[in-house]
Chain A
Amino acid sequence: KAGVTQTPRYLIKTRGQQVTLSCSPISGHRSVSWYQQTPGQGLQFLFEYFSETQRNKGNFPGRFSGRQFSNSRSEMNVSTLELGDSALYLCASRTGGVHEQFFGPGTRLTVL
């Protein structure tokens, strides 16, 4: 089975722009979660989607949003980018009722 894939792998944006990151889960996995990893804050949970519904949300401003499509692929969007949004954004998928999450390679976002 193919693993979790994320596109793009690297992204450079400037302050004030917006960005969309994409995640394709492992085939058959209906849950997708997003995490932000920074040197200062570590790994932090952003949100989780299951069957196109947001199930849980972390403590991030409304500039961070996401959605999930009927094929379980997910996108996250960050609007009005700030320097502090520079991070590695990791997507994880899991199958229903199981707690193990399997991560993709991440998208490294740099905001200039």
Chain B
Amino acid sequence: AQKVTQAQTEISVVEKEDVTLDCVYETRDTTYYLFWYKQPPSGELVFLIRRNSFDEQNEISGRYSWNFQKSTSSFNFTITASQVVDSAVYFCALSEGGGSNYKLTFGKGTLLTVNP
């Protein structure tokens, strides 16, 4: 069965600090997809990134970067020079790649608070 663990329930930082959100996953599939979503107070889940299991290249998008390591089953998310607007709940999710199963299994989320 697939599982996603986000051990950090809450993180509080001061603006301009770097912050890393941890995500550890479990799956028996060799093909799978990993995601990060952001949920601001408005409630809508905003898609940030998707990573395929066969592509371990790290990715950077502006102040955001993602580190995918299959050896440790981790897909961590780093925000550089955090801003108050980054305050939200961040979810890591997993989708197994077989057949017609596209359901997302989410972690419990990490509440990030960026203080001015």
Q: Which residues of A contact B (CB under 8 A)?
A: 31, 33, 35, 42-45, 48, 50, 55-56, 58, 88, 90, 92, 94, 99-106, 108
**Which secondary structure dominates chain A's binding surface?**
strand
Number of B residues near A (Cβ < 8 Å) is 24
Q: Which residues of B contact A (CB under 8 A)?
A: 33, 35, 37, 42-47, 50, 91, 93, 95, 97, 100-109
Across-interface contacts of B43 in A (CB, < 8 A): 88, 90, 105-106, 108
Report Cα–Cα, A101/B33, bound state, in Å.
12
Instruction: State whether A42 and B106 are in contact (beta carbons under 8 Å apart), knowing that A55-B100, A56-B101, A99-B95 are contacts in the complex.
Output: yes
Q: Which of A44, A94, A101 has the most CB of B within 10 A?
A: A101
Instruction: State whether A45 and B105 are in contact (beta carbons under 8 Å apart), knowing that A99-B33, A99-B50, A105-B44 are contacts in the complex.
Output: yes
Nearest-neighbor residue (CB-CB) of A4 within chain B? B44
